[in-house]
Structure 1
Amino acid sequence: MHSKVALVTGASSGIGEATALKLLAQGYTVYAAARRVERMRSQADAGVHVLAMDVTDDAVMRAGIEEIIAKSGRLDVLVNNAGYGAYGAIEDVPLDEARAQFDVNVFGAVRLIQLALPHMRAQRSGTIVNITSMGGKIHTPMGAWYHGTKFALEAISDCLRMEVEPFGIDVVVIEPGGIKTEWAGIAAENLLKVSGTGSYAPQASAMAKLMINEANGNRQSPPQLIAETIAKAVNAARPKTRYAVGFGARPMILMRRLLSDRAFDSLMRMAARMPRSAQRRSCGAAS
């Protein structure tokens, strides 16, 4: 029997790298895709097939899928992990940057799904794993465009799940909480560049400090926890539709479900220790 074949995007570090190595250890033929392939030598040495791929380049994505089919003859698992967080006040973030965030986090994932589905339908089997975030269920200050992409991918996954179920294809959403990767530090740095001066500076400074403190703290979960969850999902006969995993994911999603909009807003402001001057002072506001 041939081993199952998996494609993991955003695999040069963090969750993507951990997932590629985990699936490899479980006997999968793994193709790991990223822009920074120079960082993937250890994966290649371990037996992972490394692909140079920019998920905003249609020709490159098409060539990558074609290479996988030509070499391995099938594609059983697609893990859409490529993504980044561009934080900043809505007023400050240029629309070109907002579009770029959607191009990577949403349209890149959807295009790979479109390219993979004909092969999965022909097999009458397959699993599509979309990495969203607890940020696809909650909101934080300065994160509108990032959260917008994750909310969008959650909704797309729900629609896709119903469409492909008749073909024996599963769609799984992974909602990581706080994970110890480069993500938070990069997002905080970008936030300060975009909104670190001007009207939104107090909020931006507070939020960036929270992100950096969380990134440098000991409470963040390791990326291997997400990799193990993905492996569990793709090997299950009937996987869950969603897995909320990692530091803070389940309690934060639960609180968002239970609290009113304004109550959750207040919780987020307190968590970020927003300065009073950056908060609206109102009494008795309705939810």
Structure 2
Amino acid sequence: MSTRVALVTGGSSGIGEQAAIALQQAGFTTYAVARRVDRMARLAEHGVTTFAMDVTDDPSMVAGVERIVAEQGRVDVLVNNAGYGSYGAVEDVPIDEARRQFEVNVFGLARLCQLVTPHMRAAGEGRIVNISSIGGKFYEPMGAWYHATKFAVEGFSDSLRVELKPFGIDVVLIEPGPVITEWNRISRESLVATAAGGAYEEMSTKVAAAMERGDSRMLGSPPRTVARKIVKAALATTPRARYPVGKGAGTILRARRFLPDYLFDGIVTRVYLR
């Protein structure tokens, strides 16, 4: 069998960058894509092929998948990692920004699933790895739109998993806890800026401080930890439906599963607002 081929979105930094490197080192012919090719220069040193793709632009996604199939004849693994966190009070976040959050985190992911599925189905095998979050199972104040997208990714992936199983295509969810990347910093800075001078300014400062704690080595995990889990999911003969990963991920998900809402609300309030 020829070398397996992987496509990783959001490859310019953090989890996507580390996942592309790890997949290449695991023996995949790996393509990494992002809007800014210049930020993926480091990946070329590891043998990863990079090119521009915007997951909010359909022609860009169509052309990207067509290029890989033309060059390699296949796409074995899709890692849908592109995404961002837009934080702010529901009252404050413009609805256009909320729509963009869904375009990037949900509809871009879904469109790439549509584009690779015919090729995987023709091959009788394939694997779609969607990067969700523990944020797809729990919630934070000031994070309604971000969490809504991750809840959507969870439901979408669960349905797609059953739908594609008869064709030999596995759909896997990766659910990271806090990860030490620029994602956290950008999200909390945007949160504070959005709330400045308004009714939620004090609340935003508290939430941002709680988010910043996730960037510490005590609470957060490096992106390579998530990358290793992605490779595990890509290589597993029979992958699990979901892989929580990182410090505290399993604990938080178990607490959400077993605690009644009012108790979990109290925990969230203590962590983020006091």
Q: Which TM class, normalised by the smaller chain length?
A: over 0.9
Mark the runs of 5 or more structure 2 residues left unpaired by the alignment.
Answer: none
- The answer as to whether partners of 2:219 and 2:248 remain within 8 angstroms in 1 is no
Q: Structure 2: how far apart are the matches of 1:62 and 1:45?
A: 26
- Tell me what 1:135 maps to: 135
- Tell me what 2:11 maps to: 11
- The answer as to whether partners of 1:8 and 1:16 remain within 8 angstroms in 2 is yes
Quote how far apart the aligned CAs of 1:222 are: 1.1
Q: Deviations over 1:223-246 (max 9, x none)?
A: 111111111111111100000011
SS of the residue 1:46 aligns to: coil
Quote how far apart the aligned CAs of 1:257 are: 1.2
- Tell me what 1:192 maps to: 192
Moved over 2 A (4+): 216-219
Alignment of structure 1 residues 1-287 onto 2, 5 Å? 1-272=1-272, 274-275=273-274
TM-score (norm 1): 0.93
Q: Deviations over 1:93-137 (max 9, x none)?
A: 100000000000000000000000000000000000000000000
Matched-pair identity in %: 54
Quote how far apart the aligned CAs of 1:219 are: 2.8
Quote how far apart the aligned CAs of 1:216 are: 4.1
SS of the residue 1:6 aligns to: strand
Larger Rg: 1
How many corresponding residue pairs?
Answer: 274
- The answer as to whether partners of 2:87 and 2:191 remain within 8 angstroms in 1 is yes
Amino acid at match of 1:87: Y
Q: Structure 1: how far apart are the matches of 2:123 and 2:65?
A: 15
- The answer as to whether partners of 2:89 and 2:142 remain within 8 angstroms in 1 is yes
**Greater Cα shift, 118-127 or 248-257:** 248-257
Quote how far apart the aligned CAs of 1:215 are: 1.5
Q: Deviations over 1:196-224 (max 9, x none)?
A: 33111121110011112322444311111
Q: Deviations over 1:18-53 (max 9, x none)?
A: 110011001100000111210111211221110201
In structure 2, do the counterparts of structure 1 residues 259 and 197 end up closer, same or farther at CA, with 3 Å as the change threshold? farther
**Greater Cα shift, 45-54 or 160-169:** 45-54
Q: Structure 1: how far apart are the matches of 2:99 and 2:40?
A: 28
In structure 2, do the counterparts of structure 1 residues 115 and 93 end up closer, same or farther at CA, with 3 Å as the change threshold? same
- The answer as to whether partners of 1:6 and 1:76 remain within 8 angstroms in 2 is yes
- The answer as to whether partners of 2:129 and 2:173 remain within 8 angstroms in 1 is yes
Structural RMSD (CA): 1.0
Q: Structure 2: how far apart are the matches of 1:213 and 1:165?
A: 40
- The answer as to whether partners of 1:196 and 1:205 remain within 8 angstroms in 2 is no
